Structure 1
Amino acid sequence: MATALPERPAPEALIAPLVPGTEDDTHRRRALPREIDAIVFASFGGPEGQDDVLPFLRNVTRGRGIPDERLEEVAGHYRALGGKSPINDQNRAMIAALETALTARGIDLPVYWGNRNWEPYIEDTIRAVHRDGHRHALGIVTSAYSSYSSCRQYREDFGKALVSAGLLGKLTVDKIRVYFDHPGFLDPVVDSVRSCLAELAAEGHDSARTRVLFSTHSIPTAMSLASGPEETRGSEGEGGWYVAQHLAACRYVMEQLGAPADGNAPGALPAWELVYQSRSGAPHIPWLEPDVNDVIERVKTDDQADAVVVVPIGFVTDHVEVVWDLDTEAKETAAEQGLAFRRAATSGADPRFIEALVDLIEERLREGVEVREVTDFGGTPDVCGASCCLNGSPRARIAPTTSAIDSGEDLVAAEASAQRSSDQKEPA
C-alpha cells in the first residue's frame, strides 16, 4: 500500500528570498540575507592514488558508456603525476586559508568539503551538514564562470543530494554567484601575466612579437550556447554567457596591463586571444575552438610571434588540466615550434582570492555589502534565471537544482518522483 506523501514546503521557500525590484534583473538579481550557518566548499574531486584513477574516471563519465580502454588514455595523465590529482591538496589548502580569513573577518561558520566525483562526496557532505545541526548552508564552488558543468551541475549536485538524503525542507543550500568578475580572482592573473611578460622582455623578446593566449576548458558548442538564463540566449555562434564572461575577463586583464604599474608607463601590449583546451567527447560533436596547441602552431607558421604566454584564465587552481594540458603538452608544442613559453599562475593560492571568497560570503550574509565586480560584463546574479545554463543536449532532462528562480518547482517535482518510485517498490 502506498504511503501518503509528506507535506512539502512551498517552492518559493526553497530558494533565497529576493531583494524586491531585482527579480527580473538578469545580471543583478540579488538575494536577501538569511541566517547562513555553514559553508559547503564543492569541487570536482580527483584520485588520491593509482588505484583510484580508473574508478574516478568512471565516476566522471558515468552514463556515457565509455569503455575502460578509452579511459586509460586520460588515466595516463594522472598516472604520470603519481595517480594523485593536485586538486585535492589545493582544495585542502584553500579551505584552511578560508577558515582563517573568515575568522579574521569575525565570521563564525564551519566549512565542509564535498566533491562531485570523488570522496568526500557532496551527498555525504550534505548529510553531515544537517546531522551537525545546520539548516541554511551556502555553497562555494571551484569554478568561476557560467555554464552547465561549471555552475548548473553543481546546483544539481546540491539539489539531488537534498532530495536523495530526504532533506528537502529541512536544509537549504544556496550558491554564491559566479565570480569571474571579482578583482580578487582577476588581479592575481594580471600580476602573473605582467611578470611573465617582464621575464620574456628581459630575455630580449619584444612585446610586439609575443602573443598572450588566454586558455579555458572547451565545452560542447551547444552547451556554450545554452549558458546563461534562457532570455539571454542569442543567435548561433555568440557562445552564450560562458564565452562572453571569459572575453570580459580577458579584456580586464589586458586593460590592467595597459595601466601604469609602480609609476612606470607600460610599453606596447602584446596581441591576445581566447583559446580552448582539454576537449573530450565524440569527434562529431562540435566543441569550442581553437585549441591552444593549434594556435601555438599557427602563431609560428604565420610568423606572428616568437614567444607565447599561456594564461589559464578559466581555472581556479593548477589541477590536472593545467599541469598536463598546459605545462606539459602546450609547453612541448611551443618548444617544437621554437617559441619561448611562459605559463601564468592561477589565482587559487593567492590570498586575494581567498579574501574574494569571503567577500562573496559576506554578500549573502549582510545587507549593504559592496558587490565587487570589475569587468564590463554587467554583473552576475545571486539567484540564477529560468532554465539557466542547461547542458545543451536535446535529450537532457531537467534535474533538481538549487539557487535559481525555477529551482523550487524542480526540487518539489524531484521529491515527488522519488517518493513515487519508493512507493512502487514497496510490497502491497
Structure 2
Amino acid sequence: MLNMGGPRNASEVNSYLKGIFLDRDIMRLPFQDTLGNFIANKRTSKVQHEYELIGGGSPLEKFSLIQGQKLVENLDSISPETGPHKAYLGFRYNEPTTKTAIQQIIKDDVKNVIAFSQYPQYSCSTSGSSFNDLYKLQKQLDPKQSIKWSFIDRWGTDPLFVKYYSDAIQKSLGKLDPSVRDSVPILFSAHSVPLYVVLKGDSYANEVGASVGCVMRELRDRGVVNPYKLIWQSQVGPLKWLGPATDEVIKKYGKEGVYKDLVVVPIAFTSDHIETLYELGIEYRDLANSVGIKNFVVVEPPNGNETFTNCITNIVHKQMQNSKRMNYQILSRCFDCDSEQCGITKNWIKAQLSSLL
C-alpha cells in the first residue's frame, strides 16, 4: 500500500519535509538541493506546531493499518484459495518506508505482490514518485527479480469510492438548516500540484475532475441539487500552482456574502492528514468564520469506513482475477515527459506485466 506518509511525531517533521522538497518527482525547484533544504528547514517549526494541534503527528499510519487489516480479512474470506494475504505499508518519506516493506516481503518469502497506490487519482508527482522509488528499491534489494509485481495505479471512479463520498456528502448536508440545505455550495478540495506538472500532460487534474463528476452524477440521481466547484489546496513554495486556491475561493464567497454555509469535500484523500485535520479543519475554518461564513462543514475522508474498505477489497480482488490482462494506461507517459527515470520505471512495469501474461 504505497503512499506519501506523514510524520508520526515532531522529530520526523524536518526529514519528512526534506523528502518532499528534494524529490524532483514532486516538484522541480531551481538549485533543488539548496532551496529544497532551505524551504524544509524554514517550515519545520510551523509544521510541527500544526501537527501539535491535531494530536502531535499524522494519523495516516493508523488509518492505513486499519484499512490494510480489513483488506486482508476481506480477501481471506472471499478468496481463500489465494491466501493467506498480507498488507504492507510503503511510505515515501518516513517509516514504514517502501524499503522496509520490501525487506519484510523478502523475509516473508512472498513471491506475488500488488503495488497498490493509495492515491485514487494518478499523478507523476504522487503515484509516479512511489513507483519510481519502488523500482529503485526492488532492483537493489531483489536483484534476481524473485518477486513478481502487478500494479494498481488509479481508481478514483470506482463505484464504491463514489458511493462513500456521495453518502458522506449527503450526511454532511443533513447537518445544515433545511432552509439553505439545497443551495449550499459543495466545494471539492484536492491537493494542488505545480502548474508545470499539468501543462506537461499529467492526468491528475482530469482524474480528480472525473471523481467529482462521478460523485455529482450519483448525487444528482439521488435528487441533490446543490451547486459545486472543484478547487485546490496546499500550495507551497515559489512555484505557480494549479488553482483556484481553496483559501481564495473561501474569501471570495465571504466577500460576496451570498452564502453563510459551505460544505468542503477532500476528494483526493482516503484518510485524515494534516491537510484535512489542520488545513481544512482549523486554518480554513477560521478563515471562513473571519469572512462571514458561519457554518463550514468538512466532509470526513474514508478512514476506516466499511464502504471504503469494501471498495479497496474489490479493487484488489479484481486485480488478482485479471492479473493476466495488460494495463496499458500505467505505461502511458505525459506528452512532454522529460524524466529519464520515468521511462526506466515504465519499462520495468511493462516487463513485469508481460511476465504475467
Instruction: Report percent identity of matched pairs.
Output: 21
Partner residue, 1:336: 290
Change in Cα spacing, 1:386 to 1:178, as seen in structure 2 (3 Å) is closer
1:119 corresponds, among 70, 95, 108, to: 95
Q: Shift in Å at residue 69 of structure 1?
A: 2.5
Partner residue, 1:220: 194
Partner residue, 2:74: 101
Partner residue, 2:177: 201
Change in Cα spacing, 1:405 to 1:348, as seen in structure 2 (3 Å) is farther
Q: Which moved more, 1:217-226 or 1:296-305?
A: 296-305
How many residues are paired up?
Answer: 335
Partner residue, 1:255: 217
Separation in 2, partners of 1:382, 1:350:
31
Secondary structure of the corresponding residue to residue 398 of structure 1: helix
Corresponding letter in the other structure for 1:215: S
Change in Cα spacing, 1:55 to 1:368, as seen in structure 2 (3 Å) is closer
Q: Shift in Å at residue 75 of structure 1?
A: 2.8
CA contact (8 A) 2:331 2:349 kept: no
Unaligned runs of 5+ in 2: 23-32, 353-357
Q: Shift in Å at residue 383 of structure 1?
A: 5.1
Show the 5 A alignment for 1:7-22. none
Provide the aligned C-alpha RMSD in A: 2.7
Q: Shift in Å at residue 172 of structure 1?
A: 3.1
CA contact (8 A) 1:157 1:401 kept: no
2:317 corresponds, among 347, 362, 368, to: 362
Change in Cα spacing, 1:368 to 1:167, as seen in structure 2 (3 Å) is closer
1:171 corresponds, among 139, 143, 147, to: 147
Separation in 1, partners of 2:317, 2:73:
15
The answer as to 2:265 corresponding to 1:311 is yes
Show the 5 A alignment for 1:125-164. 125-164=101-140
Secondary structure of the corresponding residue to residue 258 of structure 1: helix
Q: Which one has a bigger Cα radius of gyration?
A: 1
**TM-score normalized with structure 2 length:** 0.85
Secondary structure of the corresponding residue to residue 287 of structure 1: coil
Corresponding letter in the other structure for 1:66: F
CA contact (8 A) 1:94 1:348 kept: yes
* 1:20-50 CA distance string (max 9 Å, x none): xxxxxxxxxxxxxxxxxxxxx2222222222
2:2 corresponds, among 14, 39, 42, to: 42
Corresponding letter in the other structure for 2:341: I
**TM-score normalized with structure 1 length:** 0.72
CA contact (8 A) 2:4 2:91 kept: yes
Separation in 2, partners of 1:72, 1:184:
39
* 1:269-294 CA distance string (max 9 Å, x none): 12111001111121xx2110111111
Change in Cα spacing, 1:164 to 1:49, as seen in structure 2 (3 Å) is same
Partner residue, 2:28: none
Change in Cα spacing, 1:149 to 1:166, as seen in structure 2 (3 Å) is same
| Greater relative contact order (CA < 8 Å, ≥ 6 in sequence) | 1
Separation in 2, partners of 1:381, 1:169:
20
Unaligned runs of 5+ in 1: 1-40, 227-232, 234-239, 261-265, 372-379, 411-428
* 1:88-113 CA distance string (max 9 Å, x none): 11111111111211122124122222
Partner residue, 1:90: 63
* 1:100-158 CA distance string (max 9 Å, x none): 11122124122222211111111121122123222221112221111112221111121
Separation in 1, partners of 2:115, 2:49:
32
The answer as to 2:254 corresponding to 1:300 is yes
Separation in 2, partners of 1:116, 1:224:
22
Change in Cα spacing, 1:363 to 1:382, as seen in structure 2 (3 Å) is farther
Change in Cα spacing, 1:368 to 1:119, as seen in structure 2 (3 Å) is closer
* 1:140-184 CA distance string (max 9 Å, x none): 222111111222111112101112224352223322130101012
Q: Shift in Å at residue 207 of structure 1?
A: 2.3
Separation in 2, partners of 1:335, 1:271:
21
Secondary structure of the corresponding residue to residue 263 of structure 2: strand
CA contact (8 A) 1:383 1:405 kept: no
Q: Which moved more, 1:45-54 or 1:115-124?
A: 45-54
The answer as to 2:301 corresponding to 1:346 is yes
CA contact (8 A) 1:87 1:318 kept: yes
Secondary structure of the corresponding residue to residue 66 of structure 1: helix
CA contact (8 A) 2:59 2:272 kept: yes
